[in-house]
Amino acid sequence: MYPLEETTESSCSGCRQQHPHGILYGILSGRKARHLDCGTAAPTCHCKRRTVCLKDPKTTCRVASDVLVKTMSFLRSLPSFRQLPRGDQLSLLKHGWVPLFVLGLAQDKIFFEVTDRPDSSLLRKILLGPGSAQKEAEQPTLRDVGKLRTCLHQLWNLDLSPKEYAYLKGALLFDPAVRGLDALSSVEGLQREAWHALQEIIRLPRVDDSARFADVLRAAAAVQTLSHSPVAELFFQPVLGNTNVLHLLTEMLLTQ
């Protein structure tokens, strides 16, 4: 695969280069052209809102699809998950497939590069009207990719073992915060067991490594904040088109 690009504010340098017609861009965006200079590292820099796509979609989407299949295999291999009411299974799948998929990307050390979408210019959105703007809003941005990469780096820095990844996936899958669960008490118990098992594994070779467990909790919380749409659009839209990823996963689950 490809080396990860840095996602610091310095990666936005060259905003002027991305928008060489600074005056026209400034008029259309309602800002003065001088505000497009990313050297100020402003958190609202427009560069972070640029829509992006995979630089090598053929290769990356194939690898991402493999990770997604492994994710579903993990779900289907858990007797505790299969024994839950079908409605609860679907709710947990809807809520948790992106966090589990990202954990899979981290576990398999998946690297990727992105590039600007060829149709992401502001002028094009204005000329094509509201429909284009709505579609554009669904596309992943440089900010979305930056958040995803931050999560991956956090997980890689933890150097989790396969067993630690398995229990972390279980802890994120069995989330009692999901609304409308019929077997809420069972889900609460399953998550509690997963966290306890993970904590025991982390402590085993180190006697007491509460700091590392705290790092795992922070990484897990970060993964759960990722928006679903950008992940789905980035990794699966090139191969699935308008097919909804969740609908596909639901069919895979129901045909088990």
Sequence ranges of the domains in the chain: 55-118+142-254
Residue-level pLDDT, tens digit, the chain, 256 residues: 444 443 333 345 445 444 444 444 443 444 443 333 333 344 445 567 889 999 999 999 999 999 999 999 999 999 999 999 999 999 999 999 999 999 999 999 999 999 998 865 556 566 655 554 545 557 899 999 999 999 999 999 999 999 999 999 999 999 999 999 999 999 999 999 999 999 999 887 655 567 889 999 999 999 999 999 999 999 999 999 888 999 999 999 988 6
Q: Tokens in use for 179? A: 């609304």
pTM listed for this prediction: 0.79
- For 55-118+142-254, which CATH class? mainly alpha
